[in-house]
Chain A
Amino acid sequence: RKEVEQDPGPFNVPEGATVAFNCTYSNSASQSFFWYRQDCRKEPKLLMSVYSSGNEDGRFTAQLNRASQYISLLIRDSKLSDSATYLCVVNTPRGSTLGRLYFGRGTQLTVWP
């Protein structure tokens, strides 16, 4: 079973739409959770960390449900510039390994005018 499962999409939405991405993780010992954004042929960039209480940054809202091992990202009022691949990322200790990032396969979003 993969550490992080994510719907690869693609999601194609019009400008102004609301779109939601989900992912699940398999290891209950995972300790921190992130959404990264990756544009074509560029590096992953941290979009936001995800907390159990939920957190919001402008048009972006992230939620974590530890009981269900489920992470979500909601984008409201989509912009053309939101077109990218969104990576669900989990940091999990493994034995003597203090922290290791596990990446979902990424969800591709295209916002059209």
Chain B
Amino acid sequence: DTEVTQTPKHLVMGMTNKKSLKCEQHMGHRAMYWYKQKAKKPPELMFVYSYEKLSINESVPSRFSPECPNSSLLNLHLHALQPEDSALYLCASSHDWSSYNEQFFGPGTRLTVL
């Protein structure tokens, strides 16, 4: 089973709302990632969690707050977003955080900020 699930599939929110994106994998992977992808661009790395610890924050604004409650779950809390934050948010996982592993992506959450 190489499935990563994400909820919700679509999200529309105002700039004053607080919402959360959820990601889950049951492959026993110990590294999980958040990416942001704009139309016709490749995914951009936001955060890396390795063994449930935040290992990389790619200078992401504090209005995005990641959380890893356990080894299978990854959340991204959103607050006071801007319209330019509208994008496809992808979660991915890999066996561990090494330079030999492929990453498996979830279907993404398509976020629109009004």
Contact = CB atoms under 8 A, between A and B. Distances in A.
B108 to A, nearest CB: 5
Contact of B105 (A43, A91, A98, A104): A43
B67 interface: no
A91 B42 contact: no
Given A97-B56, A98-B97, A99-B98, A46 B104 contact: yes
Interface string B26-70: 000001000000000111010010100000100000000000000
A55 interface: no
A42 interface: yes
A93 B99 contact: yes
Nearest to A46: B102
A49 B99 contact: no
Nearest to A87: B42
A44 interface: yes
A6 to B, nearest CB: 9
A103 interface: yes
Contact of A49 (B48, B102, B105): B102
B102 A32 contact: yes
A42 to B, nearest CB: 7
B105 A34 contact: no
Interface residues of A, number: 24
Contacts of A46: 102-104
Contacts of B101: 32, 91, 99
A98 B30 CA distance: 13
B99 A43 contact: no
A100 interface: yes
B99 A44 contact: no
Interface of B: 31, 41-43, 45, 48, 50, 56, 88, 90, 94, 97-108, 110
25 contacts: A31-B100, A32-B99, A32-B100, A41-B110, A42-B107, A42-B108, A43-B90, A43-B107, A44-B43, A46-B104, A49-B102, A87-B42, A91-B100, A91-B102, A92-B99, A97-B56, A98-B99, A99-B31, A99-B94, A99-B98, A99-B100, A99-B101, A100-B45, A101-B45, A104-B42
